[in-house]
Every structure is written in C-alpha cells, then in structure tokens.
Amino acid sequence: MRPEWRLASSSRSGRPWRTALLLGTVVIATTLSVMVASGAKSAQGAVSSRLSDSIGKATARVIHPGGGRIERSVLNTVRSWPGVGIAVGRMDGSLTLERADGAKDPETKSKRRVVVTAEGIEIPNEYDVRTLRVSEGTLPSGPSEVLLDKLAAQKLDASVGTELMVRRFGKPIPLTVTGIWDRPIVGPLQNPTAFVEIGVLGEAINRRDGLGTIAIVHDEGVDVAAFVEARSSEVPEFLSLEAADLVKSGFDRRVRGGDLATLIVSVMTFLGAGFIIVTGLTTGVSERQRELAVLRSVGASRGQVFRSQIFIGLWLGIIGGLGGIPLGLALTRVVAEIYAEKLPDGMLIDWPGIVRSLIGAMTAGVFGAVYPAWLASRTSPLDGISNLARSNSRRDIKGVAIVGFLLLAVAWGTAFVERGETRYWYYIYVGLPSLLLAAFALSVPLLTAFAAFFGRPVARILGLPSDVIRGTILTTPFRHGMTAGALMLGLAILTASWAVGVAIRHDWIDRIRFADGFAIDPAGFNQEDLDAVRDLQFITDTCELNRLPVEITDQQVFGIEGIYSKNAMGIGFDPEVFFALNAIDWVEGSLKEALPALKNGTGVLVADRFQTAKGYNVGDSITLKVGRAEQGFTIVGIVSSAGLDLATQLFGVRDLYSEYAVSTVFIDRQVVADVFGNKEVHLLQANLAENVTDVEAEQLIAEAAPGVVFRSGRWILDTIDDISRTSMGIMTSVAFGALILATLATGSVVAANLRGRAFEYGVMRSMGASRSAIARIILGEAIILSITAVVMGVTLGMHFANFDRMHYAGLVGIELHPRPVLGPTVLGAATTFGMCVLASLIPLRRLLDQPPAVLVAAGRNE
Amino acid sequence: MNESPLLEVEQVTKTYHLPGQDVPALRGVDLCIESPGFYAIMGPSGSGKSTLMHLCAAMDAPDTGSIRVAGTELSSLDEAGRTNFRRRGMGIVFQQFNLVPTLTALDNVALPALLDGESEASRNERAMNLLIEMGLEDRATHRPDALSGGERQRVAIARSRIFDPPVLFADEPTGNLDSISGARLLQQLRGLVDEGQTSVVMVTHEPEAAVHCDHIFVLRDGQFSEDFPVEGIDAAGVATRVQLALG
C-alpha cells in the first residue's frame, strides 16, 4: 500500500464521525444524481414506450404536416408501390361517449359521459402494424366495438362488456367495450383515448373521406431511406412521406434536453457536495495541525501530505459513490412503484448516468480535497509543535476575495456574449461554474466583514464580552466562510426559483388576454359542429382558427439547436374577425397597414417573442415550410400572441413527440389553405355571455356539438397555476434538501470549533462562566453564519434569476423582471438559521456535558 | 558510524517576527560536537534551546549561519533533501511525544519507513524489533491514547531509531513524565549511547536528567556561555555549574 493511502486510511478511521458525515454528503449527492438520471430515463422510457406503441412496426408514414386531411386515394397509391408490405390508414377525432344504460356519476348526478380522443383504425390490419397491449379483455374485432384506455374507462366507470353510445348529430352509434388498453396515465394534460373502427369514426364525426395518417410497413430488405427519397415526390405537395426514424426526432430532442437538465442537476449537486468536503477536510486539517507537523517532522514530504488528503477525497468519492448508487436505485425503484401506472416499463436504469454519477462523486471528492490538501502540504514541521504556529493571514482572505471577484467577472461575461444559444452554452459551461465558485470564494471575505460588523452587537445582545464572537469566527474565517457557502446554496435555489416563477406569472402569463374560451376539435371541426357551437345563445362572438406547425427555415429562433425544433405555431386566421374579437397589442405596425399584405399572401404577423428573442422587426423576411411547401413572407406586424400558443399546447393540440412550437406566426387562413393545403378549423375562439358559467358552457357545448372540447381561459390559467405550483414545489423541495445537506457541513464545523476551543471553554468554565454563556457564544456564531448565508444565498439566487432572465429573453423571447419573493425568502432564511442552530446542538450538548477539568486537559492534548 | 563531527553549528542566528516585535532566539551560536555520546543543552526558558534543536533537526531554517549534522550541511539541502534528512538522517523525540493518534504503536514506529516506501513486512519487522528492545512488544497494537506517558515516549524513541540514525535530538523528553518513568527513559537513552547504537543531543532544564549525559552545553540569551563534562558531578553539582554559567 502506498504510504499516502495508509496515512489517508488511518486519518479516516481515526475520525469515524467526521468521515461518516462527509461520506453521507457524497452518498446523498450520488443518490440524488442517480435518482434524477434513472428517473428521467424511466420517464423517457414511458414516453418511448408510448411512441413505440404509436409507431409499432411502421417503417415510414405519410402525414399532412399542416394538420390537414389525406385523401383516401393516397392510401391506394401507397399500397401499389413495390416494397410496401402493409399500409394502413388512421384517423383522429373527438368522440363523446356515454353509458348506454344512462348510468350517472354519483357525485355530479350527471350522465357518465366523456369526450375522448378517438383513433380510427383499420381492423384487423392495424394489429399487423402495431401491438396494442390490453390489461383486460380483447381488441375490437368489428365496427360495433371499442377499446378504451384506463382514463376513459375510469371516467365512464366502464369495463369489458359495458355498452356505450357515441353521441353525435343523428342517431347515436352503439359500441361495446371489448378491452382496456394498457396505457399508462402520464400526466394531467392526458386526454382519455379510445380505438374504434375507422369507418365508425368517420361516420361519427362526419368525415368519411379523409385520413389523418398512413402507416407503412416495408417488405424485408427494403432500404427505407432510399424508398422515402424516391417516392417523396409522388405524394401530393402538402403531404410528407417520412421514415419512422424521423418521427422519433422530436423524442430524441426531448431526450437530449432531458440529459442536459440531468447533467446540470448533477453538476450542481456534486458542486455542493464538493464544497461540503472542502469544509469538512479543511476542518480536519486545522484540527490535525499537530499530527501533520509530526508527519512532516519524521520525514513526510509535502507531496505525500498533499496526496494523503487527495486520497481521502478520492476514497470519499468512491465509497460515497458506490454507496449512493444502490440507494439511488432503490429509491428510484420505490418511486417507480408508486407511479407504476405512469411508468409501464417500470424503472429503467440509466447506466451512463450511473457512471456519470460515480465520476461526479469521485470528482467532487477530489475537487473537495484539493484546497485542504494544499493547506495540509503547507504545514511546516513546527506547526502545532511550536508555540509560533501560523494562522490565516489577511493576505489569504484578500487573495480569496480577488479570486472571487475575478470568477464573478467571468460569470458576468455571460452578459457580453452574443444573445441566444451561444450565451446559453457559455453560461452552462463557464458562467454557472464560475458563479458558484465565486460565491463560495466570496463567502470568506463576506463572513469576515459580517463578523467584524455584526460580531460586537450580537455579542452585546447575547450578554457576552464584546469581542468573543467576532474573535471566534475570525480565528477560522475559511472554515466558517465555506460553511456559510454550503448553507447559501439551498436559499439561492429557493430565491431563484420563486423569483423566476413569480416573474413568469406576472410578466408573461398575467399579461396575456385570453379569449373567454376555446372550442377545440383536434381533427378539425365539421360544419355541423361549427354551426351548432356558433348557434348557441350564450356564444356572443366566434373566430375560426386553424393551426399548423411551421418550420422557420431561416434560423433557430427559439431554444437550443438540437434540443428544440425549429418550428413555430402557425395560426391561420381571418384578420378582421380576429382583431375585432381579440384585444391584441400591436408592438410594431398596424392592422390597416398590414391587412393588404396579409390578404395577398405576402405578409405575416409574428408574436412579440420573435422580436425579443432575435430582434425581428416589421419589414424583415421569414421563410416558412410545411412538408415540401416552402414560402417566404415579409413580417408586416408584431403583436402580442393572445396566448394561442399556450392554449394549443395545453389542449394537447399538437403532435407531442415530433413537434414543439413555442410561439406564433399569424397567416391569413386563405393563404394557409392555398400555400400549405390546410383548410381545417381546429380552434374556435368564443366570447361568452356574462350569465353563463364555464362549467355550464362546457356542458352545453358538449350537448350541442359532441366531440368538441371546450375550455375556458380561466381553465387555462388554473392549469398553468397547477403546473407552476408543481414545478415550484419541486424546486422548493430541492432547495430544502440542499439546506438539510448543508446542515452536515455546519455540524461538522461547529463540532470542530468546539473541540479546537475546548481548552478555552474549559478555562472559561473553571473561571465561573456558565453553561449558558458557552451556548450563547455558539448561538452568536450561528447568527453570524446565518446572516452571511442569507445575504449570499439571496444574492446568488438573484444572480441565478438574472441569468434566467437573459436566457428567457434570448431563447424563449419573454422579458422577465425577477425580484425576490418575500415569503419564501423569509421562510428559507429562517430555515437556514434554524438548521444552523440545529446543527450546533449535538456538539454543543456534548461540550456542555464535559466537566471543566476534562475540557482543559483535552485542550492541552493530555 | 560517520567520521565527520556529530554536530557543527557555526554563527547561527534566528529571529522570530511577531506582530509588533522581533524576538531574537539565537544570536550567532557556535557549537561543535566531535564525537558520539550523550549531550545535554541546558538553559533558562527563552534561551533558544528548542529553537536550536528544531534547526538541527531541519524542522526550520536559520536566518544565517550553517549547521552540519554528521557531515550533512543542512543549508545545502532543498525541500526534498530536508524531508529525506528528517526521515533518515536523524531521529527526534518531543516533550509532548507527538505520536500520530490514529496509528497503533507499531505503525507509529514504522511511520518513517512507511513514508520511505518500505514494504509492510520489512518495516513492521524492524519496528517490532525496536518495540521489543524498548520493552513494548505487548503494546504494539495499542493506539497512543491507550499507552502511559512513559510508554508513549518509548514508542517515540523507537520511532526515531527506525532508520538507525547517527543522532537523536530529544527536546525535554522527560518533561511530561513522572520521575520513575523519566529515569527509566534516560537509562534507556544512556544504554543506546553506551552500546554505540546512536548519539543523543538532549535539551533539558532538569539537572537530574542532565547527569545522565557526558557533556553539558549551557545556552544563555541565544549564545553558549559554557560547557563542561558531567563525569563525577551529581545533579546538585550540575545545577550549581549551570547557575554559575547563567550568572
């Protein structure tokens, strides 16, 4: 065994509690990292599973990228192509299903009825293309049968054999439930789903002539890519023939985005753990001055002392990492069991994530050991032996302050990097690490300043000699400073997440003026439904809109290339009607000036987020592409988006896997029909009379137009509130987790301080100082530490929030004005203080239990 | 044994720079010990005894002057050379024992050999032999906190001898021991010298300890004021001579 390993080993085993504390830190960090990685993998697995369910064996598909219909004749053409083994048509639509026996919901007393997203399939050909797993019953074998998912079955209280009816104009269509689709319930926005024979769906929604998708399974040995390239020009211009791999590209982007988020969380976690190790090992080095000096005096080289500390860090990293991995997997397993419904494939282990976690743990250990190792290697043989041992000089503190400000400058260099994607990556790889390191470095001089400033008043308030607290802290400013640093992280996360969360609400969502409500038919309204809704008495105004995902070919306007698609939400609209109904703000341009260009198909309007993100102005050109159809437009106006992007996403009116649109381009409906081949109406904006409630409106519209979903603007806001509350709840939990983690560091430092000053406390006790005086000194230290941690935490949190502000503006096009939110900040500050005091209690209790003689003897190393 | 003088100190000065004041500890000390033996350096508190010992043990560097230990010129050594000298070129024993609390007695004795990269079997064998020599074989697996003061100091002596150095520097080695333990320890040191295993240079202020030595050097205000052989003088006589030397 190398001497350094042996020294490291004896040092560890000689201080089992300290070692256990530090090990616990690494274990917790690794556990979190593994949980995040494997949790994300499991969630991705669930989505992937859904995607596979959806794609099945299909090797290619024909779609209408603009959301329009595919003529049935195209299916026959596809089937005639050599190399095509199977081709099946599919159709989407909304159906209103209700129990044929008139069963009522005991709570609402209304009929059990649900609007489902229905998928029309060719029976039984569809089953050769994909496997639909059933948890009970069988797959439909004919036109009078239906397969429900669990959510639909639950809402209808239906099981195998239950008789249902499709409500529609004309005679209801009877259906029998033959099975329950084993589909996971994956989120609040998930729609209940049903499978019926394609002809039944066409009849129910009065769309007998069109298809939504054609799925293709090629014969074995066919080169799909070559096939797609060769045949693409044979489908009508507005349609797109694409290989199945392309279908997964949206999912792959989400995976890349998820991986990046996982990486950031892991880096943050391990940085925190690394700094706690810095604190713990620095404390150990301070305590072991005499021991290290002895080692040096009997011939240990500086290198050996340095490496022995590094090996301690490495050992903590390896053992903590290896301990955290099974714990993380076990906890992920527990979570997967709890959410088994949402994770059909159960827990998936992310092996690269585990390797990354182990490497992260080892890096945190080694990184955390570098500074204490350097300190230890500086130990001279006389330190701790001679009475002339050194202490931290002001020069050291000034040095750390300079390093801290330099790192801060590097972090703020982010603001000078070109806005958007480059800035984002600079921040991730340079700015964020520099900011965290700067915060930890600056915590030392800041603590020194606070101890000098607040030490005396705090001592006076606590009835102590004026210099006692200040002196205690200034004896070991690095150790205390690093502890304040560890404490600040949780508060920083809390401050940032609330500041940004509330800013999103105030500066963006609250400013969107939603229409009173939206009637939606994802498959496109049929004329009867449109008329029925418009004819309802309480509907005062309506505006027909269609939506189509459009690719902006000029540049990546929003998000990160490779993670977000280049798509935006295209809204086909009738300008006069739309602007009469919506209170839209014109940021640039006017309706009068814009109208001719909109009508003649040369102009489009864009949402203000285009201007914020990439500086688009009136007069700039933009090229839009749907399928193979591509056309350049001039921007003739910049407007607020009326929340249409939010509305369409919240209603699930988008292809979840392949598209992700973040803002809106407004195009005249006729132009959409002519250029991009989409004549459908997907959304009907509606204003309601004042005497009707949202619930009443929803019920009445469902009665009048079965298959149409109605949601109010208020519902959208409530849903956003729910989502934002959940995400802030998660961030708040993470913040409090970080605070608890930091308690380990605080406990360690307080314990070391008490031990190091045992002699002094023993002398004070023997001279008549009460136990409470000692306790007040510790309390005073905790107050100064907390003040530093709170100031640093809030400041760092606001730095995070400001960087978020930059990224929101550059990548999403939303101008936010984050500011600290009082309640959570005060709660976080109080928790920080509480944790600090709590961490002091155990070592304090141990100290107070010792008689003065024992303390004096211990302090003399007797 | 090396044929160079055991210890040569020439015009060594050392000043400690404390906040607000400079404290001169050694003011041009000269000392030459030619032959192996057991030597004592005596003097009042603050006379520079321990400082001189730390300089001779390469634990600190003089401001000026030169020190040669068994022919090794300490000022010519770089950091690595000084580290190696501390490991193999001499042994040192402290008043406070200074054992590593987390290591057993055996590991403490073997520590310099461990740092030198010697194999575990070899170093443990040599360390165990030294413990047997010091009468501590049954205490080998105990940690320092389970040993008495005398036992700890004997472990420290064993550790200082692991590389069989030509000289042991002992800084008040009996200062923390009771009289019986102290006497036993001094007899053991005397025995080592008499057997020709090593020489000892001991800092002490106790005449009872100094009578075990061959020769005494008296240090006063950072300079040697007198030296005399111990033969035929008892503790009271030593005290008187030292008192006279200190004026």
Helices (H), A239-346: 244-247, 249-287, 289-297, 302-338
Helices (H), A659-814: 669-676, 694-704, 713-756, 758-766, 771-807
Separation between Cα atoms, residue A685 and residue A647, nearest integer Å: 10
A1 touches B at CB < 8 Å: yes
Interface test mutation site (partner B, options A7, A17, A298, A755, max chain B beta carbons within 10 A): A298
Looking at the structure, tell me whether residues A147 and A279 fall in a common domain: no
Mean pLDDT of A5-31: 83
Q: Collect all residues of chain A within an 8 Å Cβ-Cβ radius of residue B80.
A: 301
Separation between Cα atoms, residue A330 and residue A324, nearest integer Å: 10
pLDDT bracket for residue A862 (50, 70, 90)? very low
Total Cβ atoms within 10 A of residue A587: 17
B86–A291 CB contact, under 8 Å:
no
Looking at the structure, tell me whether residues A77 and A50 fall in a common domain: no
- Mark which of A357, A390, A423 sits at the end of a domain: A390
Q: What is the pLDDT of residue A449?
A: 92
A568 forms beta bridges with A550
Q: Collect all residues of chain B within an 8 Å Cβ-Cβ radius of residue A302.
A: 79, 83
The three state secondary structure string of A771-804 is HHHHHHHHHHHHHHHHHHHHHHHHHHHHHHHHHH
Query: For the segment A335-344, what is each residue's pLDDT rounded down to a tens digit?
Result: 888 777 667 6
Q: What is the pLDDT of residue B165?
A: 94
Q: Which residue has the higher pLDDT, A57 or A77?
A: A77
pLDDT bracket for residue A95 (50, 70, 90)? confident
Looking at the structure, tell me whether residues A678 and A558 fall in a common domain: yes
Q: Does the pLDDT of residue A147 top 90, yes or no?
A: yes
pLDDT bracket for residue A387 (50, 70, 90)? very low
Q: Collect all residues of chain A within an 8 Å Cβ-Cβ radius of residue B96.
A: 385, 861
Compute φ and ψ for A386, nearest 5 degrees.
Answer: -80, 160
Q: Does the pLDDT of residue A656 top 50, yes or no?
A: no
B38 touches A at CB < 8 Å: no
Q: Collect all residues of chain B within an 8 Å Cβ-Cβ radius of residue A392.
A: none
Token digits for A594?
């814009």
Which range of residues forms the domain containing residue B105?
Answer: 91-163
**Which among A11, A299, A386 has the least Cβ separation from residue B88?**
A299
Q: Which residue has the higher pLDDT, A706 or A631?
A: A631
Q: What angle do CA B211, B216, B221 make, to 5 degrees?
A: 125
Q: Does the pLDDT of residue B143 top 80, yes or no?
A: yes
B102–A380 CB contact, under 8 Å:
no
| Residue A549 maps to a domain | yes
| H/E stretch holding A827 | helix A822-849
Mean pLDDT of A137-162: 90
Separation between Cα atoms, residue A138 and residue A50, nearest integer Å: 19
Q: What is the ipTM for the molecules in this complex?
A: 0.83
Query: Among positive and negative, which fits the CA dihedral A31, A825, A817, A788?
Result: negative
Q: Scanning every residue of chain A, which has its alpha carbon at the shortest distance from the alpha carbon of B118? A: A3
Least confident range of A60-64, A265-269, A749-753: A749-753
| Residue A144 maps to a domain | yes
pLDDT bracket for residue B42 (50, 70, 90)? very high
Looking at the structure, tell me whether residues A270 and A184 fall in a common domain: no
| Residue A846 maps to a domain | no
Total length of chain B:
247
A304 touches B at CB < 8 Å: yes
Q: Scanning every residue of chain A, which has its alpha carbon at the shortest distance from the alpha carbon of B104? A: A10
Mean pLDDT of A579-589: 77
**Which among B57, B80, B102 has the least Cβ separation from residue A10?**
B102
Q: What is the pLDDT of residue A389?
A: 41
Q: What is the pLDDT of residue A660?
A: 45
A3–B103 CB contact, under 8 Å:
no
B2 touches A at CB < 8 Å: no
Q: Does the pLDDT of residue A477 top 90, yes or no?
A: no
B112 touches A at CB < 8 Å: yes
| Residue A515 maps to a domain | no
Separation between Cα atoms, residue A458 and residue A787, nearest integer Å: 11
Q: What is the pLDDT of residue A659?
A: 44
Which one, of A53, A63, A58, lies nearest residue A85 by Cα? A58
A382–B115 CB contact, under 8 Å:
no
Could you give the percent of chain A with pLDDT greater than 70?
Answer: 86
- Interface A:B, Cβ pairs < 8 A: 84
Q: What is the pLDDT of residue A178?
A: 94
Query: For the segment A429-455, what is each residue's pLDDT rounded down to a tens digit?
Result: 788 888 888 888 898 899 999 999 999
Looking at the structure, tell me whether residues A305 and A276 fall in a common domain: yes
Q: What is the pLDDT of residue B1?
A: 45
Interface test mutation site (partner A, options B17, B23, B83, max chain A beta carbons within 10 A): B83
Q: Collect all residues of chain B within an 8 Å Cβ-Cβ radius of residue A861.
A: 96
Look-up of token digits 């827990």: A347
A294 touches B at CB < 8 Å: yes
Looking at the structure, tell me whether residues A230 and A328 fall in a common domain: no
Token digits for A207?
């769309």
SS3 A384: coil
Which one, of A695, A671, A522, A679, lies nearest residue A602 by Cα? A671
Residues 823-862 of A with CB under 8 A from B: 861
Separation between Cα atoms, residue A568 and residue A552, nearest integer Å: 7
Separation between Cα atoms, residue B47 and residue B38, nearest integer Å: 21
Query: For the segment B56-71, what is each residue's pLDDT rounded down to a tens digit?
Result: 999 888 999 999 999 9
Q: Which residue has the higher pLDDT, A122 or A191?
A: A122
A381–B60 CB contact, under 8 Å:
yes
Total Cβ atoms within 10 A of residue A172: 16
pLDDT bracket for residue A388 (50, 70, 90)? very low
Could you give the percent of chain A with pLDDT greater than 90?
Answer: 12
B86–A298 CB contact, under 8 Å:
yes
Interface test mutation site (partner A, options B55, B115, B119, B147, max chain A beta carbons within 10 A): B115
Looking at the structure, tell me whether residues A80 and A207 fall in a common domain: yes
User: What is chain B's Cα-based Rg?
Assistant: 18
Separation between Cα atoms, residue A53 and residue A133, nearest integer Å: 9
| Residue B25 maps to a domain | no
Separation between Cα atoms, residue A715 and residue A717, nearest integer Å: 5
| Residue B30 maps to a domain | no
A84-99 and A163-167 strand pairing: antiparallel
Average pLDDT, chain A: 80
Q: Which residue has the higher pLDDT, A707 or A72?
A: A72
User: What is chain A's Cα-based Rg?
Assistant: 33
Q: Scanning every residue of chain B, which has its alpha carbon at the shortest distance from the alpha carbon of A308? A: B115
Q: Scanning every residue of chain B, which has its alpha carbon at the shortest distance from the alpha carbon of A393? A: B19
Token digits for A786?
């907390």
Looking at the structure, tell me whether residues A202 and A284 fall in a common domain: no
| Residue B156 maps to a domain | yes
Token digits for A21?
């504390």
Looking at the structure, tell me whether residues A75 and A201 fall in a common domain: yes
A326 touches B at CB < 8 Å: no
SS3 B68: strand
Least confident range of A223-237, A372-386, A490-504, B111-125: A372-386
Q: Collect all residues of chain B within an 8 Å Cβ-Cβ radius of residue A388.
A: 16, 18
Looking at the structure, tell me whether residues A35 and A73 fall in a common domain: no
| Residue B72 maps to a domain | no
Least confident range of A25-34, A115-124, A248-257, A648-657: A648-657
pLDDT bracket for residue A304 (50, 70, 90)? very high
Looking at the structure, tell me whether residues A221 and A259 fall in a common domain: no
A466 vs A239, A469, A471, A777, A847, CA distance in Å?
Answer: 81, 7, 9, 11, 22
Number of folded domains that form chain A: 3
Mean pLDDT of A297-319: 92
B118 touches A at CB < 8 Å: no
Q: Which residue has the higher pLDDT, A108 or A603?
A: A603
Q: Collect all residues of chain A within an 8 Å Cβ-Cβ radius of residue B79.
A: 301-302
Mean pLDDT of A156-170: 87
Looking at the structure, tell me whether residues A576 and A666 fall in a common domain: yes
Look-up of token digits 């040191």: B189
Q: What is the pLDDT of residue A189?
A: 54
Least confident range of A572-586, A659-673, B88-102: A659-673
Q: How far is B106 from chain A (nearest CA, A)?
A: 13
A300 touches B at CB < 8 Å: yes
| Residue A292 maps to a domain | yes
Give A16's contacts (C-beta < 8 A, 6+ positions apart): none
| Residue B100 maps to a domain | yes
Query: Among positive and negative, which fits the CA dihedral A398, A399, A402, A408?
Result: negative
Query: For the segment A779-838, what is each residue's pLDDT rounded down to a tens digit?
Result: 888 889 889 989 999 998 998 888 888 877 776 667 788 888 888 888 888 888 888 888
Mean pLDDT of A346-375: 88
| Residue A594 maps to a domain | yes
A14–B18 CB contact, under 8 Å:
no
Separation between Cα atoms, residue A299 and residue B96, nearest integer Å: 18
A11–B117 CB contact, under 8 Å:
no
SS3 A753: helix
Separation between Cα atoms, residue A804 and residue A802, nearest integer Å: 5
| Residue A562 maps to a domain | yes
Q: How far is B97 from chain A (nearest CA, A)?
A: 10
| Residue B139 maps to a domain | yes
| Residue A496 maps to a domain | no
- Mark which of A651, A667, A688 sits at the end of a domain: A688
CA A803 from centroid of its chain's CA atoms:
16
Please give the DSSP secondary-structure letter assigned to residue A231: H
Q: Does the pLDDT of residue A55 top 70, yes or no?
A: no
Q: What is the pLDDT of residue A558?
A: 66
Q: Does the pLDDT of residue A642 top 80, yes or no?
A: no
Q: What is the pLDDT of residue A494?
A: 85
Number of folded domains that form chain B: 1
A520 and A653 in contact (C-beta within 8 Å)?
yes
pLDDT bracket for residue A402 (50, 70, 90)? very high
**Which among B102, B116, B159 has the least Cβ separation from residue A14?**
B102
Separation between Cα atoms, residue A198 and residue A126, nearest integer Å: 10
| Residue B84 maps to a domain | no
Which one, of A598, A420, A612, lies nearest residue A511 by Cα? A612
Mean pLDDT of A518-535: 80
B60 touches A at CB < 8 Å: yes
| Residue B104 maps to a domain | yes
Which range of residues forms the domain containing residue A681?
Answer: 539-688
Q: Which residue has the higher pLDDT, A674 or A256?
A: A674
Q: Scanning every residue of chain B, which has its alpha carbon at the shortest distance from the alpha carbon of A4? A: B115
Report DSSP letters for A413-461, one per residue.
GGGGSPTTHHHHHHIIIIIHHHHHHHHHHHHHHHHHHHHHHHHHHHHHH
Q: What is the pLDDT of residue A557?
A: 63
- Mark which of A329, A361, A390 sits at the end of a domain: A390
Q: What is the pLDDT of residue A335?
A: 82
Task: Please confirm whether the linkage preceding B24 is cis (ω < 30° from 0).
Answer: no
Q: What is the pLDDT of residue A770?
A: 77
Q: Does the pLDDT of residue A561 top 70, yes or no?
A: no
